[in-house]
Amino acid sequence: MTTRWGLSSEDCYGVVRIVRRPKIRPSIPRCAAAALLAAGLALGAEVDSARLDRAVDEPENWLTYYGTYESWRYSPLDQINRSNIEQLRPLWAFESGVTDGGLQAAPLVVDGTMYVSTAWNHVFALDAATGEQIWRYDYPKPDQIPGTYGTWNRGVAVAYGLVFMGTLDNHVVALDRETGKEVWRVEVENSKQCGCNITAAPLVVKDLVITGVTGGDSAHRGYINAFDARTGRHRWRFWTIPGPGEPGHDTWAGDSWVYGGGSTWVTGTYDPELDLLYWAVGNPAADFYGGDREGDNLYTDSVVALDPDTGEIQWHYQQIPHDVWDYDTAYEMVLLDLEVDGVMRKTMLNPSKSGYVWLLDRQSGEFLGAWPLVESSNWIEGIDEQGRLIGRNEPPVGETSFVCPAIGGGRSWNHGAYSPQTGWFYSTGLEWCQTLTVRQEDPQEGLAFFGGEFEMAHPKSGKAHAHLSAYDPVTGERKWRIRHKYPLLASQLATAGGLVFSGDATGRFFALDASDGSELWSFRTGSGHRGSAIAYAVGGRQYIATPSGWGSALAGLTTQLWPEAEHFPSGSSIFVFALP
């Protein structure tokens, strides 16, 4: 038989409306994956926890937000490769018509069907080979949403015959995967009161759908919630800011914990072998003024490991105690088995808004190292061998100071990629700064709570810019770098074809040689890139799909440094490419 690669062989919050995988290896044997497909084990079956645990064995699909729980954003497909990339052509495009906020999502592909969400919580099911629309879901437009966090949505999850999405008014909805009809909906917390909502893709673990929340820049107390995937019944809540009597509560002065921030606004991940759920937690509130919240402010700017069945914390690692720079530890956690100091370790690579990347032991939370993504950095002098911050440069209250990186971070939330072929981690970096004036501010529940004012600025060394680089994940040694004039705010995708895909603010979608960073191919999609490209296959043909649609609060800030960015066109399209 020929495969598709041509190879042979108990309490609820709100009202609910009801209407073992293999050890991570450095590479994926193609013949083993082909044999699995030939046996028909992966095709057409329900997406359940077993399939999600073994998503790495289904390279024709993109089953989870990051592709697999490892968060590599890597595809073992190699039909499209360095030798033929010049022949890559657009095959189809889908325009959602929802351009407000751009398109920041990562599409999913399950057995030939693509699922993608847009701003204002629309969901589309498309034929992944042709782009033909199968169904469309339109979430009722709320009469009011938290103004701080925009209209965008970054993705959905698929399991148990359902498609899950978090909403702008802080609900979770489940849709019938075949028809798009709503099956259940649950309110997590009243968004008008909390000033929070859900913009990240949910994560399905076992029989649970798990979501984070925004609110880190508001007077709000963050959390992670788990719901029964089939019914929507609430199963557990983990508060990222410990309350009275809980470990870590003493790291907050007075009642500052009540509105302490600690949002969980980027999708977490899961290790089935260790049975640990990982989530990265954002900044404390107020963002810049820390005078009313003396202490380390747990679990802000921390990675937390939870028991997925109960939500009980197993370990934590705090990167930035008492953050006064708004440097969230909110980004992806890349699960890698790496040799560190001569010993194989189960590690986790976590880039941060601070412009640093942390390497942790994912079994214990032990600090293994940290290295910088950017050169424009003056908030600390460095990080020592124990993970302690050296030479903290805390902005003084009532005075204007010059801080690098800027509020947009040394990198945005858009995710890096890891290739087992090269053993390198590919990530963007943002070289920009800000002037910051810190002010005391009293919290008002659900309203913005920054504790300061900022304005974007060029680094003192030259013009602000971005770069995409390849790094050794343990040492941070840079292998190559390419520079871009405008901020790079799209995710990277690495493939077994020796390629790295990404997109820029002007609408160029491009492919680089993973070994040296040389550009091999590009295509203009008409609008800038803010989302996450994926790779998949249908009927023996490999496809590359990318969202195209410039927008977001961060995109809006770019006009302070590049006035011409005001005229960058918005959009909301999916472009799909294949070989002739």
Average pLDDT, consecutive stretches of 10 residues, N- to C-terminus, the chain (580 residues): 29 33 35 38 76 98 98 98 98 96 96 98 98 98 90 97 98 98 98 96 98 96 98 98 98 98 98 98 98 98 98 98 97 98 98 98 98 98 98 98 97 97 98 98 96 97 98 98 98 98 98 98 97 98 98 90 95 98
How many Cα neighbours within 13 Å face the side chain of 138? 5
pLDDT number for residue 44: 66
Distance of CA 276 to CAs 20, 238, 304, 517, 538, Å? Answer: 14, 14, 10, 35, 33
Cβ(576)–Cβ(90) below 8 Å: yes
108-110 and 223-228 as β-strands: parallel, antiparallel, unpaired?
Answer: unpaired
Closest of 161, 150, 155, 170 to residue 123, by C-alpha = 155
Residue 11 included in any domain? no
Q: How far apart, in whole angstroms, are the C-alpha atoms of residue 96 and residue 179?
A: 18
Position 4 in a domain:
no
Give the pLDDT score at 555: 87
Which helix (H) or strand (E) is 554 found in, with range?
Answer: helix 553-557
- Whether 466 contacts 429, CB under 8 Å: yes
Give the whole-angstrom CA distance, residue 389 versus residue 392. 7
- Residue-by-residue DSSP string for 21-61: PPPP-SS--HHHHHHHHHTTSSSS----HHHHHTGGG-TT-
DSSP assignment string, 555-572:
HHHGGGT-GGGGG--B--
The answer to the question of residue 8 being in a domain is no
Rounded to whole angstroms, the Cα distance separating 352 from 53 reads 26
Catalytic annotation present for 326: yes
For residue 348, tell me if it sits in a domain.
yes
Length of the chain: 580
Which CB contacts under 8 angstroms, 24+ apart, belong to 50-54? 50/20, 52/159, 52/204, 52/205, 53/20, 53/21, 53/272, 54/21, 54/22
Q: What integer pLDDT is reported at residue 344 of this predicted model? A: 98
Contact, 199 vs 265, CB < 8 A?
Answer: yes
Q: Does a structural domain hold residue 180?
A: yes
Q: Which of 287, 301, 326, 504 is catalytic?
A: 326
Residue 471 CA to residue 481 CA, distance in Å, equals 9
Compute the distance between CA of residue 170 and CA of residue 166 in angstroms, rounded to an integer. 7
- Rounded CA-CA distance 38/466 in Å is 44
The residue whose two tokens read 């003396």 is: 294
DSSP state of 306: E
Comparing CA positions, the residue from 303, 301, 350 lying closest to residue 326 is 301
* Confidence at residue 14, expressed as pLDDT on a 0 to 100 scale: 33
Instruction: Tally the domains of the chain.
Output: 1
The residue written with tokens 């971070």 in the block is: 409
In a domain, 474, yes or no: yes
Exposure letters 171-209 (e unless 16+ CB within 10 A, then b): bbbbbebeebeebbbbbbbebeebbbbbbbbbbbbbbbb
pLDDT at 21: 32
> Is the residue at 470 inside a domain?
yes
Q: What's the pLDDT at 166?
A: 98
User: Which amino acid type is present at position 562?
Assistant: W
pLDDT at res. 271: 98
Bridge-based pairing of strands 356-361 and 465-471 is unpaired
CATH of the domain at 97: 2.140.10.10
Burial class (CB in 10 A: 0-12, 13-18, 19+), 392: middle
- Which residue carries 């997109």 as its tokens? 503
Chain-centroid distance of CA 488 in Å reads: 15
Give me the domain span that covers residue 344.
17-578
The tokens describing 544, both together, are 């590359």
Q: How far apart are CA 569 and CA 173, in angstroms?
A: 31
Is 12 contained in some domain? Answer: no
